[in-house]
Chain A
Amino acid sequence: MAGLAVRIESLVKEYGRLRALDGVSFEIREGELFALLGPNGAGKTTTIRILSGLTRPTAGRVWFFEKDIFRESLAAKRMVGLVPQAVNLDLELTLWENLLIHGLLFGMSRRAIAQRAEELLRFAELWERRNQRVRTLSGGMKRRLLIIRALLHAPRILFMDEPTVGLDPHIRRRLWGLIKQIQTKGTTILLTTHYIEEAEFLADRVAFLDRGRIVALDTPQNFIQTLGEVAVDVVTSEGLKTYYFRNRGEAEREAMKLSKQGESVTLRRINLEDAFIHFTGRKV
């Protein structure tokens, strides 16, 4: 069984009277892809910022591979790669220069940087553009560069804060492939997202974060199976109502009955969003 890569205990963050994180605790196993799912303002970015050393928590403890990250912050930072939500690349510098600076920041030799940068630029299909300035890249290319920059120093843990936000669906899917490939190489990944399908497709386990608290934690499959297999959405005069069924037969019988009563009915597969609404009473 894989060891623990990340252990978070009772993390609290207060901004004045606002409690952004309210006792968050969870663990991530080595090699696991763990997703934090929640609406805007749930506390996802605050969690990532604390784990990356960008924000100090009000209370709580965190360990990476048994190292206390607040007591041994430099050692902890060496283990981590961060893909932030905002594209924080040096737009005036070339792709190569951006990677060079990052490598030096993480104590790599120039030779090691050159080798690893070439490998990663080819992996992300950006090698041909290595001497171009970053500002000439498309949004999707910048995101890919952001990801490989975080991987340059071969971190054991990768934090990705909404890595595909604002991207076209086809580019998002391409990045999912890239993220899966990174995981298969043994990197532990913590990803935040408010895209349901992203968490469902990528994550081994998902935690629902709402108003600064973890309200549920399980695999996407278990979350969905809790509710059943098929959902029936019914548009009524009071709004949208959703009913969950163990199998398609049951769902079809109910749908037929409702449709005869003149309701507008749709059958679909139960997804992670249904589970989120079930546990939080809110949409993602």
Chain B
Amino acid sequence: MRGFLAVYLRELLIIWHRLPRMLLSFSVSPTLYLVAFGFGLGKDLTVEGRPYLEFLVPGVVAAASMMQGFGINVEINVARFYLRIFEEFQAAPISNWAYVLGEILGGVTRALLSTLVILAITALAGVKLHLGPAFFLGVFLNAFVFASLGVASAMLIRSHADQALVTNFIITPMVFLGGTFFPVEGLPAWARLPLKLLPLTHASHLIRNAAYGNPVPLTSLYILLIIAGLGFFLAYHSVDRARD
């Protein structure tokens, strides 16, 4: 238990020391998305019978929590290849699950912080959403899924450059195609099917429904729970691969 606490506490201390910089950086992308796609493009636009901004904000939250959750891989890479702190964890008497859970929760914490920054910005812009437990459950699950995939990818890659490939080919396309900026339901069936396989599509769907005050879409919830479990399993088994 203390092993898990040590790994998570390290992430929390890093966040604490960098907090002002971090909050500022969390606000840049969502502000740009909101200005460009929300205020610029969609002031009078409606989607699913609602103002486009109300559609957009949950999508931006899903995308940002995905990016910040997955972004734990950058921290792990720095700790592994540059600072070599990963060796301190490897030499310590802690189990793989303690390490993996600590790092995943580090990613989830960053994701929740970035969500709070977006909600603060959108509140200032006058966007009203239903921010109940289901909304934050959606954010948590989404962050957990991508943080666990982030930990797994950080363990499997052999250099920092490999990580950029994973981000460019998998994460960046998902930001745009995972039901964040437009409804997947509006696409033709051949395009809709592959997008329905993306975890972000289900996270956007869940978070958006929660933000509208609708019932939680159970299919998306179960799919995210299953992927979170698989992601954790993959991350857990990837730790030994990082040992040469």
Contacts and interface: CB of A to CB of B under 8 A. Distances in A.
Q: Are A and B genuine complex partners?
A: yes
Interface of A: 15, 52-56, 73-75, 77-78, 80, 82, 84, 86, 88-93, 97, 100-102, 104-108, 133
B244 interface: yes
A88 B92 contact: no
Nearest to A13: B244
A107 B2 contact: yes
Interface stretch (B3-11, B156-164, B168-176, B205-213): B3-11
B244 A55 contact: yes
B84 A105 contact: no
Q: Which 8 A-B pairs have the closest CB atoms?
A: A104-B6, A105-B92, A88-B84, A77-B93, A74-B93, A105-B6, A104-B2, A82-B91
B37 interface: no
A88 B93 contact: no
A54 B89 CA distance: 9
Interface residues of B, number: 25
B44 to A, nearest CB: 46
A55 B14 CA distance: 28
B237 to A, nearest CB: 15
16 contacts: A53-B91, A54-B87, A54-B90, A84-B87, A88-B84, A89-B85, A90-B10, A92-B17, A100-B9, A101-B6, A101-B10, A102-B92, A104-B5, A105-B93, A105-B94, A108-B2
Contacts of B95: 74
A282 B12 CA distance: 50
Interface string B1-39: 011011101100110011000000000000000000000
Given A88-B83, A93-B10, 14 more contacts: A15-B244, A54-B90, A56-B244, A74-B95, A77-B93, A86-B84, A92-B17, A100-B9, A101-B6, A101-B9, A101-B10, A105-B7, A105-B94, A107-B2
Interface of B: 2-3, 5-7, 9-10, 13-14, 17-18, 83-85, 87-95, 243-244
Given A92-B14, A104-B9, A52 B243 contact: no
Contacts of B94: 74, 105
B2 A105 contact: yes
Most chain A beta carbons < 10 A, residue from B14, B88, B91: B91
A76 to B, nearest CB: 8
Contacts of B14: 90, 92-93
A56 B13 contact: no
A229 to B, nearest CB: 42
B181 to A, nearest CB: 35
A107 B13 contact: no
B244 to A, nearest CB: 6
A82 B86 CA distance: 13
A88 B6 contact: no
Contact of B3 (A15, A73, A86, A107): A107
Given A56-B243, A77-B91, A100-B9, A93 B17 contact: yes
B74 to A, nearest CB: 14
Nearest to A92: B17
**Highest count of chain B CB atoms <10 Å: which of A15, A86, A106, A133:** A106
A44 to B, nearest CB: 16
A100 B18 CA distance: 19
A110 B243 CA distance: 29
Contacts of B18: 92
B13 A105 contact: no
A100 B84 CA distance: 18
A93 B13 contact: yes
Nearest to A73: B93
B91 A80 contact: yes
A56 B244 CA distance: 7
Contacts of A88: 83-85, 87-88
Contact of A90 (B85, B93, B243): B85
